[in-house]
Each structure stands twice: as structure tokens, then as C-alpha cells.
Amino acid sequence: MKIKGTRIDPRPMRANLSVTRLVDEYMPAYNGARLREACQLLVNKILREDVTVGLAVTGALTPAGFGTSVLAPLIRAGFIDYIVSTGANLYHDLHYALGLPLYQSSPFIDDLELRKHDIVRIYDIVVDFEALLDTDRYVYQLLESGLFKGRMSTAKLHHGMGSLVAETEKKLKRPYPSLLSAAFKADVPIYTPSPGDSTIGLNIAAKWFKGQDLEIDVSADVNETTAIVYDATRGKKKSAVVILGGGSPKNFLLQTEPQIQEIMGLSARGHDYFIQITDARPDTGGLSGATPSEAVSWGKIDPAGLPDTVVCYADCALVLPILAAYVLANAKRRKPKRLYRHRDVLMRKLSKAYEGVPLGGRPSGRKCRR
């Protein structure tokens, strides 16, 4: 039997090593190799003009500043076409948009002392409680702007918020855009699968007592993301998912294929590319740790695309800056797809395809989904 694979050829590391050489030459095995494969898959196949890239964002990434430092630059480079995120990540990114301070600290600090001094801890990040109140007041003011009335998808909610946040950043002369304002400027729609599960959602709920006519349309979220994926997997176009963490955003991003195939009875092949950075184990049975091969059984991933799937078992806080630096250094900028503007067109395409399909119609005996 002939051994297959690239020979490991270790060479001494030098000073001033570029991120490209670090990844390509010094990550030969284990989850380092999975990170290398993810970086190269993005640059060589995913970040092309004919690929639609969906990003799932879970975990406390924006408190660490990654919304402004990493995700916004990726949006501005045209590398992200739509986002599914927890509401908490959008809320905490607003601290930076407003210039409110968060601090590096220790995970071993006395929480009773923090409580006495009105300081809140997110593992090894601390923030004054007054900064949270300032952000809450700002969100409350945004909701009173007149842009938010009636039933709307979270994409419309976040786009409106992004427009106002961009104005605030300009007024405050903030040097860099936040996640919401960068997405607004690039027309990248942002969806939140559990809109009530964040401080933004709490503020919306509180406005109900004041008589505000605002209701989140969760069905619109489901249908809009499904329409995006349906269009992205037609003909020669391709679809990619990049998942940071797991949880509800991962499920919401991937459930579009069961919606197309099982619920709507339309033919589909599944996503073409899959990258996940996670610390979740697959053997507990949870969706967060479910592998790409398991996703094939649900129709979420194209079986032919399994060679183009990567799971890196690592902390997103370690991997994301390296991954982003690599693609920003090596991938050609893409023209933004501006999917927010095209939601109605994509919805009409999906609606037309669904015409004539009987309610509950399913192709080839596909009966269930995860």
C-alpha cells in the first residue's frame, strides 16, 4: 500500500512570520490542520463570486470586540452575504459603536466584589453596569425612531437599527464600524432565530407596555432565509455555511434545506460547503456537535460536497482572528451580493416554485428532519 498525503517537512520558525506561512506551513496536524483546511477551503473555493456565504454567530464573540475587529472587515470585503446570529452578539457590539468601555480582566476575580461595585463579568471581560444601562437606553431610543412598526422580520429590524447606528457612529466619530452598521452599509441581512432571547428583545418586549405596534415575524425569518438558500443552490450557483459555535444559529442556518425538501416538497441538493468552529462533541447527540456527514442524512449537505467540509474543534476566540487574517490576506475582495435588497425577489422565486405543490408534499419519501 502506498502512503497518500503531503509529507511533513518541519523547518525552524523564523521571526516576522506572515499569517499565510504560519497557516500553510506550521499547522500540519490535528485541529491545527483542520484550521489550515478551513482557511484554504475559503480562499480556494468558497470566496468566489458564484458562492453565497451564510455565517452563523454563537457565543460571546462581540464582547471581545470581534464584531468590529473581525466580522465587520469580512463584511466590507464582500466575504459574508447573510448572517444568523444570537441577539446577544448584536447587543454587545453596540457597546463599541457607542464608545463604551469593556476591559480585559480575569476569570478568577471575586464576583461578589464585582456585584458590590456594579460590575458585570463575561468570563474574563468586565463592564460597568452603567454601560449596559446606557446601551439599553440607546436601544430604547432606536425603537422610538419611527422606523419600527407592525410585523417585520429580524432582518428588517436589524437593517433599520444598522442605519441609525451608522448615523450614531458618524456623529460620535467612531473610527471603525460595528457589526450592525457594516451589515447595513453592505446590505447584508442579519437574522436572529430567538429574538426574545437578548437585551434587544427585552427592550422590544418592554415597549409593548407603552403601546408600541412592533411584532417580530418569525415566519418571515424562516421564509427569507429559505429563499436565500433555495436561490443559492439553483443551477451552477453554490451555497456555503460558516458556523462559529453551534446552538440555535447553526440550526436556523441549516434548517433551510429541510424546509425546502421536506416541508415544501421541492428538490434540492443541500449546501455545497461547510465549515464549523466548535467545542461541542458529537457523541452527546446535540445539534451543536452534529457532524457534516450526519447533516447529509438530513439533506442539509450535498453528499458530493463532503470532501469540502471541515470541522475544527477549537475555541472560536482562537481560530476566528487567524481565519479572518488569512482570508483577508489571500482572497480577492468580492462585490457585495446585497441580499437585503433582493429579499422580495427571492421570496417570489420561492413562492412560484412552491405553486402547485400539495400541502405536505414531500419528494421521494423524505419524512422527517432534525
In a 3-state reduction of DSSP, which class is residue 304?
helix
Query: What's the confidence (pLDDT) of residue 267?
Result: 86
Interatomic CA distance for residues 255 and 307, integer angstroms: 21
In this structure, the number of other CB atoms found within 10 A of the CB of residue 131 comes to 17
> Please, which residues bridge with residue 274 across strands?
241, 309
DSSP 8-state symbol, 356: T
Tell me the C-alpha distance between 160 and 183, whole Å: 11
Amino acid symbol at 21: R
Between 149 and 183, the more confident residue is 183
Helix (H) or strand (E) holding 83: strand 82-85
Instruction: Look at the chain and count its residues.
Output: 370
Structural contact between residues 60 and 123, judged by C-beta atoms closer than 8 angstroms: yes
Largest CA distance in the chain: 74
Rounded CA-CA distance 26/124 in Å is: 29
117-147 pLDDT tens trace: 999 999 999 999 999 999 999 999 999 888 8
Mean pLDDT across 73-85: 98
d(CA 97, CA 75): 16
Other beta carbons within 10 Å of 182: 25
Q: How confident is the model at residue 178 (pLDDT cuts 50, 70, 90)?
A: very high
The whole-angstrom distance between residue 145's C-alpha and the CA centroid of its chain comes to 27
Cβ atoms within 10 Å, residue 93: 27
- pLDDT of residue 333 exceeding 90, the answer is yes
DSSP-derived secondary structure letter, 50: T
Q: Is the pLDDT of residue 225 over 70?
A: yes
State phi, psi for 28 to the nearest 5 degrees: -85, -15
Measured over the CA atoms of residue 62, residue 64, residue 69 and residue 73, the dihedral's sign is negative
Model confidence at 362, pLDDT cuts 50, 70, 90, reads low
**Average pLDDT estimate for 337-354:** 96
- Encoded amino acid at 184, one letter: F
Banded pLDDT at 111 (limits 50, 70, 90)? very high
Active site residues: 300
User: Closest by alpha carbon to 183, among 93, 95, 278?
Assistant: 93
DSSP 242: E
Is the pLDDT assigned to residue 205 strictly greater than 50?
yes
The mean pLDDT value of the chain amounts to: 92
The pTM assigned to this predicted structure is 0.93
pLDDT over 60 (residue 234): yes
pLDDT at 299: 81
Contacts 24+ apart (CB under 8 A), 286-291: 286/246, 287/246, 287/247, 287/250, 287/251, 287/370, 288/245, 288/246, 288/247, 288/250, 289/246, 290/370
Identify the pLDDT of residue 284: 84
Indicate whether 269 pLDDT > 90. Answer: no
Within 176-308, strands assigned E span 190-191, 214-216, 238-244, 273-278
Q: 93, 239 in Cβ contact below 8 A?
A: no
- The structural domains of the chain, ordered by start, are 28-352 (3.40.910.10)
Rounded distance, CA 143 to CA 207, Å?
8
- Specify the higher pLDDT residue, 170 or 305: 170
- E strands, 123-279, are 125-128, 150-152, 190-191, 214-216, 238-244, 273-278
Give the model's pLDDT for residue 368.
38
User: Residue 63's pLDDT band (boundaries 50, 70, 90)?
Assistant: very high
